[in-house]
Structure 1
Amino acid sequence: MILIVGAGPIGIEMAIELSKRNVPYRIVEAGSTASTIEWYAPGTEIFSSPERIAIAGIPFEPQTRKAFREDYLLYLRNVVRQFKLPIEHYRRVIRMEKTSGDKFAVSLAPSSHGVGGPLEDADRPETYSDIETFEVDKVILAIGNLHVPQRSNVRGENSEWVSHYMGEPHRYAGTKVTIIGSGNSAAEATIRLYHVGAKVTLCHRQDGFRPKKVKPWLAPELDNLTKEGKIQVIPNFHLQEITRTSVRGLRRLRDLRGLRDLEEGEPLSIDSDFVLLLTGYRQKTDLFDQLGVTLIDAQPTINMETMETNVPGVFVIGTAAAGTEIGGVKTFIENAHIHVTRVLHALDLIERVHAAPDRPVDEREI
């Protein structure tokens, strides 16, 4: 028996391939299908072209040239129905460990939401009951890596008017919003909130947005809005405190020696009704820790030829294989399809495929 943990695109693809070969398996998901994509803001546009994020040979054909969050969720639901996949939704793995033999003991409990996203970050204690325990021969972790925010650890970060997720843009119409961040999420939120009528101030630590890190259709509009004075952008900003009515920090100054010390920066106070801290996310590692998977630089140790970890019988696929990505995202749905093929070979379910290395993907992609 094989256990797949996680029903995102690559976990679904893995389940389909096992189903085709009549391999006994269970697939469990703590939330809904593709729960990470579910917590994207409504109307989020996906950069990857539809054919590159299609799975199991089923065409993904959105009505417009680009796909949106809602299109892809519908597509994935239809794929699950078409293959009659036995996904056990809202079932969370709360404990997993290797037994004295070659098996793995698993404890499974009902869950109210997926691993990651606003509900996971709400810091509400979740009590477990009706716990099911069982053993499996192999474990395939397709758990993703966008679980909890990279926190700023400043005063006021946990206030109710502060969020690490954009959510519904309409909420911010007619308000003053300060956005902290320098990547896709911050750029997209700035543009979308401006269009719903928010007065937006974008702050980030760098001198400016790095073009290679921002979706190609976002950078020009962000630049135009800045030049036209429709949004305010504050670079070299070091966040210090969030109050009910303002964001406070230091704007670091440049001289011929480069950036001065923070103490020499210019104090700034930005009027704000709401604050979005869009500074990235990190992976939860509890299952890796329980299983004994070694982490190096926040990334699980994996043989990339087989996707097997340092623990025999434990495989990691999809974005989960990248761990917490620092300095830019490089693992996406579209360059993780090959992970499924590698696992199938490792399990002796297909002949060895001498595939090319993972195709480099533009870092601006989702």
Structure 2
Amino acid sequence: MIGWTVAGGAVLAVWLWLLALHGGFWRTDQRLPVRGRTTTRPSLAIVVPARREAEVLPWTLPALLRQECPGPTRVILVDDDSDDGTGALAESLASASGAVLPLTVTSPGAPPDGWTGKTWAMAHGLARAGEVDYVLFTDADIVHAPGSVRELVAAAEGGYDLVSQMARLRTESRWERLVVPAFVYFFALLFPFRRVNDPAARTAAAAGGCVLVRHPALARAGGVEAVRGAVIDDVALARAVKRAGGRIWLGLAEKVRSVRSYPRLGDLWHMISRTAYTQLRYSPALLAATVFGLVVVFLGPVVVTSAGLALGALLPSLLGGGCWLIMTGTFVPMLRYHGQPGAAALLLPVTAVLYMLMTVDSARRHRCGRGASWKGRSYPASRTVE
């Protein structure tokens, strides 16, 4: 009984620390800091890396081409060696969608050694953009609601060198509803948005689906070439900009959403496991620490509570129950942001086990010599975050 009491106290201490001192990771109040129209007319290039995206472009590209922007703007879709007619479809959509913005479709060919496909496409699009004030890197599966790009620019004009929004992901299938809110929750646990947005903090991150960056700030950071081999290019780019003295901002989106579907658990499993071990820098020590942390933080409350009830021990039951209540409460805001009922927070320990297994599987794939892969393209297992 003493052991379970000590365990319950330790887990409670961890959760109280996370609640009070970990950057308010559980909050969902980080939204675009500037609203309305900007009084300036900065030039903008919107670069869309696209590999085998014919399925989603009809939903996303027309909305992007109809954006109203404060200054001269062009859209550059970079066809990343697709074999499904992505480039031709993009051109046909531009001519039939009542586009406001001009579209350029280009293809750089296969990436050279040392580059990922996405960073090579980003660099190619940036080169085609020429001298502009801002570059918006946005994924092909992202739908921008009316006013989205204008508000991004207005936010950046408020004093930021990089503005990124975590696109609202689909939560239509049962697996999406179980896994997706937790995906964003765990991302915020790793990179608390408030710390990312604090110029004095070292924490830096971005969400690759929607990253607006000042062209001069990107050049000071070494350009896309500085992160050319990064599989997790968004985090690497944000780190590069912040280390170069840039001010960055990351928050949750209201007008940016993804239409990419993950109907089966296997789809979500691949999406997460392909980069999970990369995020841990391929370190067995970090893997062990992550597994231990997930067990203690997310399974600890359940185990201590269950043990206390089974033994009829009041104090362990109260300590474990208190931890479980705190854990559940921190997940409710993210569920509500995704339009899910707060009661689903009780399933967070189940989702944490899934994430633990996905991370371990990611390490197993690395040990077997299989690095990250995306749409038929694989990368060496030696690739790191930056």
When normalised by structure 2's length, the TM-score is 0.23
Q: Which has the higher strand share?
A: 1
The structure showing larger relative contact order (alpha-carbon pairs under 8 Å, at least 6 residues apart) is: 2
Q: Which has the higher helix share?
A: 2
